[in-house]
Structure 1
Amino acid sequence: MFVFFWVTLLFSVWGSKANTDMLAGGKQHCTNGFCVTLSEGNITADTGHSVVIPCSFTTIDDFTPLYILWFKCSPSKIRCEYADMIFHSNKNNRHAQSILQSGFQGRLSLLEPDVSQRNCSIMINDLNESDSGSYQLRLNGVRRGTSDIFTFPLRAIVSVKDVKKIEITGDRSVKEGETLNVTCSVDSFPPSFITWTKYSEESIQNVTGDNLQNNTEMDTLFISNVTTEDSGQYICTAKHLNNTLMEKVIVNVIYKRTPLLTGDTTVTEGETLNVTCSVDSFPPSLITWTKLSSNTILHNNTGSASLVISDVTTEDSGQYVCTATHLNTTVTLHADVTVTCLLKILSSSRCEVQSEVLTCVCITEGFPLTTIKWPLLESHTKYSVMTTVSDHTVNSSIILSVKDHGYTEVECVASSDVGEVKRNLVIIKTDQEVGLLRHHGCYSGVLFWAVAGSSISVNVLFIICILGLWNARKKVNPNEENRTYMSLQKPDPSSEYEVIALRQN
């Protein structure tokens, strides 16, 4: 627009000077000592521009001109009426200013405001086709001390033509890597001079096309293998004689980049999950979030969409799907969300020894599920381990003989992907016949005799105890999500003991 303003101003000034120069060769017409000089023939101009009607006058000696008035009316009228007035040089005459034709208000001005200079040239700005017609001059003045007027019969004829329009052809949206081919043309004679420029806030750059045709009549904006940098605003400028036309063209390059997932998919219970799926593309891609195996749309947006869940729980864990749709293509990404809860060993964990048989239970809570280890077992070859899993709780129990032991506490170590915790369980000694295993449906007295018997008896009694516990748990808690693991181990290959593992189906 800045370039267009200065080019327009330049042509307007040039046109004004050219029209003023015509005064010397204009046609003079005198009536009763009043003479006016106007240009011969039609004064031509283009819409949107300015035009100057060159004019000068002389009067009889006893007439003093005070104000200049211009009228526009039909050539069939001998003299224009006040209703046809378009300009009055007396700005203080409110009545005169109020009856001016509304279409001309603010668009006319005298080149020489001083009436005594006998210059009646007037400029009309922002022309339109309705400005075409005949213009008549009238003088208001004083003659022999009395107000007087004189209307010149000679008129100026102005012809305003609509400038030829710029025509833009070709697809302005093209896929990345293809060819851009947009043509700018003007039907005019003589041929218009046409150029392409690319507009940016920093500068205006000339663009060279492969099919220029001497830059006359038409110019083609031709870019092969377009990239996203070729997107933007281009300007076609057509210069025809004293006229300059400009047309803006927005070029869009269609493209799509690989979708991206950002944000932490592992969060702690109670925190806020915030995972963003975004796609750099034009036109912008439609992005939706859903949870796997569910058709419910959690969130959608164009260009970028965030999956936000505040105060998450372990139930929010799972796989979420980001679907990005761009034109006729669809791409999906999966986000595996894990909600962790703090790993801890419950205070209900305990150990007790009875009749030289040690029984310990370690109970943990946390997600992901924990693995419980007993460092004490590293120095023993004969023991029984039972592990039960329910929801986010893991229960591990050990049973082993500790004859002549000096233990006062046993360490329980629980670990998962989010960390590790340890706890020393103080050993409680009891003389009662029923020990800790009573809570599991097995009496320690049986275990005492099992330990005291032969190795074969130990196996048999252990198995009887374990099977009894298994059947009891199966009757009490048949929930299939709960799992129980038991083993009787002796790592020594020469040992006659076998490893037994039972699992609830």
Structure 2
Amino acid sequence: MTLIYLVIFWFFLKTSRCQLQCVQETFDDTEFSINVTEHIQLESSSCHEIPYKLTFLTNNVTAPYEVIWFEGDPANTVAVAVISEVESETQDSFEIYGLPQGEYEYGLKLEWGCNQTYIFPKRVHISVSELTQKPDIWVPHMVEGEDVTITCIAERLCYGEEGIHWKWTKADGVTTVIHDDDHFSFHWRNTNALHLSPTADDHNSNLTCVVEHTHDVVETTVTLNVQYSPKILNSSECRTEGKLLVCTCISQGNPLPPITWPLDTLTDYSVSSFSSIQTVTSTIILPAADYHNATVKCSSSNEVGLSAIEIPVPNGTENLRLDPGVDLNHEYDAVFPWIIVGVSLSLNLVLLTTLIICIRKGRKSSPKELCEEMNTYASLNVADVEQPYGNISLSNQRK
């Protein structure tokens, strides 16, 4: 019976001793200190190491102990490091992995022994802003029909795997999404290569490299500069304006392709040109009578190539060459209508005068004579403009 009481008493003492050891102590803040940056500015999805140094009395902490980082509330643990030996100073770093935009607060605490904890009052405040680190695009010299490789390079953030794709917006505003062509990664960056065989239509189109990080999407856009040889448009033409021959040649190319005309045999002419974007328009004006060919040659060239066409000359220019000094058809067409109008007015005036006279004499003459005179003047035909006026009889007036 006595032995049973001794065993019970021994367990009671041991339990009481353990409870006394697990009572949390209160420590003086002057005996613990932490040296760390309190305010840090970061960009979204980026990583950052926060170095720190701890100082405390070795008799306050027993090994092993834990260094615990928490976010906001001390119960919200984000990182734990176990230290096997107690030293008065401890230096280490805390790494922040890619955070989204926002405001964050981190703190540090120590735990050891039986429920012993010390929370450092100092906090680390981190402000995370929008990611501004955009990809780089390398574009080689581009010529129509020559294969090229365009490369997009994206820096890695927090050792993550970035997703890369392309967007191609043509001149008509239509956008095409192009996924991985050749995608390869290095330790510090991701790269995507796009293979193209550009055409003239691709000039001035926009190519965008889109990089998707953990919390952000960033992109870079370049405008393609495709060089191509001149192309003379079908709207090039020759026309006549009065006695002049006017020929217009329109060419497109990159770089701008100047236009030349066959001027060796010409002495009297004028040439004017203007350009807009990749289009050159040139106009030559010369007397139609001085040009005796059926076509006019228009040439356009740049450092990429040469283009030339023969522009037909209107057939109407041959009439202008018969007599360059006088334009008979034009003068006849202008005068003839006025002759008709003059003759018509004269005949109407004569007819009106005759009617007035007939009315006055009708009071004295017989109805038969009046009708004969009316029939005589009414028989005049306006179309007979070439008949001499002397053929009109006025014998009744003399009587």
Say yes or no: TM over 0.5: no
Q: Which structure's residues are more often helix, by fraction?
A: 2
Task: Identify which of structures 1 and 2 has the higher relative contact order when contacts are C-alpha pairs closer than 8 Å and 6+ apart.
Answer: 2
TM, length-normalised to structure 2: 0.42
Per the normalisation by structure 1, the TM-score is 0.34
